[in-house]
Structure 1
Amino acid sequence: MHVLVPFDARQPKSRLADVLDDGERQTFARAMLADVLDAIEETGHEPTVLSTAQVDCRASVTVDERPLTTAVNDALDERALPVGVVMSDLALATADTLDALFGTAGDVVIAPGLGGGTNALVVRHAEFEVDYHGTSVRDHREAATAVGANLQVVDSYRLGVDIDDPTDLVEVLLHNDRTATTWLDDAGFRLETREGRATIARTGTESDGT
């Protein structure tokens, strides 16, 4: 199966601006991308990074500056089905969780994200189109129904957590033991426990991401 990995190479992870500067967001985003690509390759499937600009990584790269929905739909049209789409900020994804996604039968298979997004999917129906605006998981359910596609939903914590906000970095340090965690460790981030909950702190700063 061919797997598309959308990636914003220009202004990634803007919601992490409170804890990471522009350059740090660039390098951290690439660290998460590397982890996602490693996990896909471990499943035996072939990833292609669908990037807004050229990026140096271990997979083939297709540059497309258009909005995400348009870029993904055109990429789906150009490839033989099935095709997977896995977001580049799924730092908790593993080969096992992706195997479960890729191996689930259905014309459209969705892994929902927290807050109503669609973090990963598999498309086997030629008439199905993605729509990443707004509450995309609901829109994708409706789109699958509209074209008569059989829809399956994969309930996965690791695929459900995309790393967008400072508090999400806690999950990376707890559940990722690869490039993204190494980068956070080197950048001085650590876990602290307050009132029974893990929070994030950075050596030499007072910011804790809460």
Structure 2
Amino acid sequence: MRVAVPFGGRSPKSRLAPLFDADERREFALVMLRDVLDAIDRAGGDPVVLADTAVDVDVDVPVIVDDRPLTEVVNDELGGDEPVAIVMADLALATPEALTRLFETAGDVVAAPGLGGGTNALVVRTPSFTVDYHGASIADHRAIAADAGASFVEVDSMRLAVDVDEPTDLVEVLLHSQGRTRDWIEEHGVRLERGRGRVSVTRECR
């Protein structure tokens, strides 16, 4: 299955600025992307990166550079006779097992919702469906599928629900990931901070 992986490389992960400077955020985003590409490959997918700027992914994967808005870029991948998956580049907890389950679940449109209302991954098997990534996209995608008369199936997966955007998302990476992303975070001095409430993260002196 063709798997399109959108990647924003121009100014990635700006909400991690409290922990990482701009160069570190670019490096971190690429590390996550490589983990996602590896998981897709091991799940039997055929990945292609859709990047908004030229980027060296450091693996043998096609990169298409297109700086249009995400919705337009992804919709150009859809509409053919073959199924297409869309998997976001910041799913640092994704595993081959979680992605295989997504790819193999039956339905015209199969979605992995993200925390906070996003859509972190999709499999589209009908040309009548289009994406809209503005706002609470999982609700929009349900409605688009219904209007198109397409079945819409949601995959409940913690590993596909966590997209790493905020410092608090790094808690999940440190607790549940075993990939390059966790290694990179630890190498850059980020540690769990346990208190009386929710676990958070802190960074040791740079």
**Would the TM-score normalized by the shorter structure come out above 0.5?**
yes
Which 4+ residue blocks in structure 1 deviate beyond 3 angstroms? none
Identify the residue that residue 96 of structure 2 maps to in structure 1: 95
Structure-2 separation of matches of 1:127 and 1:61: 26
Structure-1 separation of matches of 2:81 and 2:48: 14
CA RMSD of aligned residues (A): 1.1
The residue correspondences of 1:79-90 to structure 2 (distance < 5 A) are 80-90=81-91
Structure-2 separation of matches of 1:192 and 1:115: 23
Q: Determine if contact 2:77/2:84 at 8 Å carries over to the other structure.
A: no
Q: How much has 1:13 moved relative to structure 2?
A: 0.7
Q: Does 1:136 align with 2:137?
A: yes
Identify the residue that residue 208 of structure 1 maps to in structure 2: none
Summarize the Cα distance change of 1:195–1:71 in structure 2 as closer, same or farther, 3 Å threshold: same
Structure-2 separation of matches of 1:19 and 1:76: 37
Q: How much has 1:14 moved relative to structure 2?
A: 1.1
Identify the residue that residue 75 of structure 1 maps to in structure 2: 77
Structure-1 separation of matches of 2:132 and 2:17: 26
Corresponding residue SS for 1:106: coil
Q: Does 1:202 align with 2:203?
A: yes
Whichever residue aligns with residue 39 of structure 1, its letter is A
Q: Does 1:175 align with 2:137?
A: no
Q: Does 1:16 align with 2:33?
A: no
Corresponding residue SS for 1:201: strand
- CA deviation string 1:114-149 (max 9, x = no partner): 111000010001010000001100000000001110
Whichever residue aligns with residue 135 of structure 2, its letter is G
Structure-2 separation of matches of 1:106 and 1:33: 27
Q: How much has 1:80 moved relative to structure 2?
A: 4.3
Q: How much has 1:197 moved relative to structure 2?
A: 3.6
Identify the residue that residue 56 of structure 1 maps to in structure 2: 56
Structure-1 separation of matches of 2:157 and 2:191: 25
Structure-2 separation of matches of 1:204 and 1:46: 40
Structure-1 separation of matches of 2:124 and 2:88: 14
Structure 2 residues not aligned, in runs of 5+: none
Structure-1 separation of matches of 2:140 and 2:102: 19
Identity %: 56
Corresponding residue SS for 1:76: coil
Q: How much has 1:15 moved relative to structure 2?
A: 1.0
Corresponding residue SS for 2:98: helix
Structure-2 separation of matches of 1:168 and 1:125: 33
Q: Does 1:26 align with 2:26?
A: yes
Whichever residue aligns with residue 20 of structure 1, its letter is F
Q: Does 1:193 align with 2:194?
A: yes
Corresponding residue SS for 2:76: helix
Q: Determine if contact 2:48/2:63 at 8 Å carries over to the other structure.
A: yes
Whichever residue aligns with residue 67 of structure 2, its letter is E
Corresponding residue SS for 2:146: helix
Task: Tell me how many residue pairs correspond in the alignment.
Answer: 204
Q: How much has 1:192 moved relative to structure 2?
A: 2.3
Corresponding residue SS for 1:97: helix
Identify the residue that residue 41 of structure 2 maps to in structure 1: 41
